[in-house]
Amino acid sequence: MDQKEHRIALKFAYDGTQFFGFQRQPGRSTVEGSLVTALEKVGAIRSPRECGYRSSSRTDSGVSALGNVVSFLTAFDTGDICAATNSELENVWAYSAVDVPEAFNPRAARQRWYRYHLPRTGQDLKLMEEIARRFVGVHDFSGHARKDKRNPMRKIASIDISESGMFHAIDFRAESFLWNMVRRIVWMMNEGGSGRMDMASIGPEAQRMPRRVGLSPPEYLVLMDIDCGIEFPVDARAAVQVARLLERRIRESAMKLRLEQGLAMRLSFHPPPGQY
């Protein structure tokens, strides 16, 4: 334990399907609530208010992350905090901690990177790419996000689409996003690419935009990383610790997938026993 308090930036991942969103909510299990409780249990902080706690991105319920960031003042040793915090966490994994200046605020990030894993169902890739191009740049996204008091003007740096197995991996990069903004754009990309929506009605300034733009499911959205202008080297002890936890989860997921694939084959093709 250090005697003098210093500000730490902590990078972590989480399975958002196990939580009611990121932000703390009374009586509900959230990512932030679990993380703060773990930090309090190991003695890293006394309370969010006392430690000058700051968060970067407040993901919605069901949305996961590979690289979210928080910062806080602590007397805890920087090299020990990931492993200690992970010992009190489930479905959240801290893997990097660095010392930062007192003025550091992860909310003022240079860029945020989200990836949406859209199931491939025969969409026209060229149409989806055309829709993506319409949203790149500076636009008023008030019609494509949940309404709030923030300025609806946003600049999307890029939207890239690549094929990844059963999915289209759609990567969004911007300094910041409005609530539900990515999921609404993906919904329009899917509808337009599937021929269910008139291309003339799709775009940030479209004149014939439908009154209600749908939302793509949150479980397919992942906050991939946040560029805060600093390097986050992976903590070696935390890496080993998390790898052991993930090995079991991956094995269990693989077994569940084999069971479901076997059932699907049996229901679809009725193969003889032992043929799959």
What residue spans in the chain does CATH classification 3.30.70.580 cover? 6-108+235-260
What are the DSSP E strand ranges found in the chain? 6-14, 54-55, 64-74, 92-99, 111-119, 137-140, 153-164, 167-174, 221-227
For 19, 52, 61, 189, 242, the CA distances from 246, given in Å and listed in that order, are: 18, 31, 22, 33, 6
Cα angle 31, 37, 40; round to 5: 140
- CATH number, domain 113-225, options 3.40.228.10, 2.60.120.10, 2.60.40.10, 3.30.70.660: 3.30.70.660
Looking at CATH, the fold of the domain delimited by 6-108+235-260 is given as Alpha-Beta Plaits (3.30.70)
What residue spans in the chain does CATH classification 3.30.70.660 cover? 113-225
- Active site members: 60
What per-residue confidence (pLDDT) applies to 2?
47
What per-residue confidence (pLDDT) applies to 276?
45
Q: How far apart are CA 113 and CA 223, in angstroms?
A: 6
Q: Look-up: residue for tokens 């997921």?
A: 253
List average pLDDT for each run of 10 residues in the chain, which is 276 residues long.
82 96 93 97 94 94 97 96 96 97 94 97 96 94 71 92 94 94 95 92 68 86 97 96 92 93 82 52
What's this model's pTM, rounded to 2 decimal places?
Answer: 0.89
